[in-house]
Amino acid sequence: MPEGQPLVAVLAAGLASRFGGGKLDADLCGKPLGQWTLDAVSTAGLEPGLIVVGPDVPAFADAAHGWALLENDAPEAGLGTSVALAVREAEALACDVLLLLADMPLLDPAHLSRLVLSAGNAATVYPDGRPGVPALIRNKDLSAFRDLAGERGAGPLLASLDRLETVTAPQGMLADVDRPEDLAHVEQLLRGQTA
């Protein structure tokens, strides 16, 4: 990892129960859903970091060149446990962390770059005004996230950080895939962009 770059942590340990399993390897316009996030990282000029996976490692993650895999052995305990694992890894490396979700295939590389270039902590602002991922957490504030658990993820703690910079996401970027119909919707959006 280049000096000064945050550890890029892609959270991919979810059980995908609403999707029926296998979500991150589902085909989306010719490549696995999870690969779209890794490609956005590469296009943003960021080096591969780590992918937090569950005991059943998605094929896209297993095949990801240059990415380290970090296993969350209790993904059923919620997204917060994956955030905590990524944060502890960044603490061990004495670096910042950029948190991303593997089921958000419309990530804008320019948005990721804006987060990384922020002066302090930075989070994506959602339509309801709350901060969330993608988010950059500076090393000095990582300890607040070390013991996260449950489904809430990093959002509530991000909101409590002093001088948090919020970055508005481009339209449509925050679409995530939870159900098969979400995948179909995102595929329509992508096909519209390339038509």
Q: What is the pLDDT of residues 112-161, one digit of tens each?
A: 999 999 999 999 999 999 999 999 999 999 999 999 888 877 888 999 99
pLDDT given for residue 195 in this prediction? 44
Torsional class of 29: left (φ above 0), alpha (ψ -120 to 50), beta (otherwise): left
The answer to whether residue 2 sits within a structural domain is: no
Provide φ and ψ at 54, rounded to 5°.
-90, -175
Residue 181 domain flag: yes
Count of domains for the chain: 1
CATH of the domain at 52: 3.90.550.10
37: confidence class by pLDDT, cuts 50, 70, 90: very high
CA 100 to chain centroid: 1
The answer as to whether 1 is a domain residue is no
The domain containing residue 70 runs over which residues? Answer: 7-194
In a domain, 171, yes or no: yes
Summarised one tens digit per residue, pLDDT across range 111-120 is 999 999 999 9
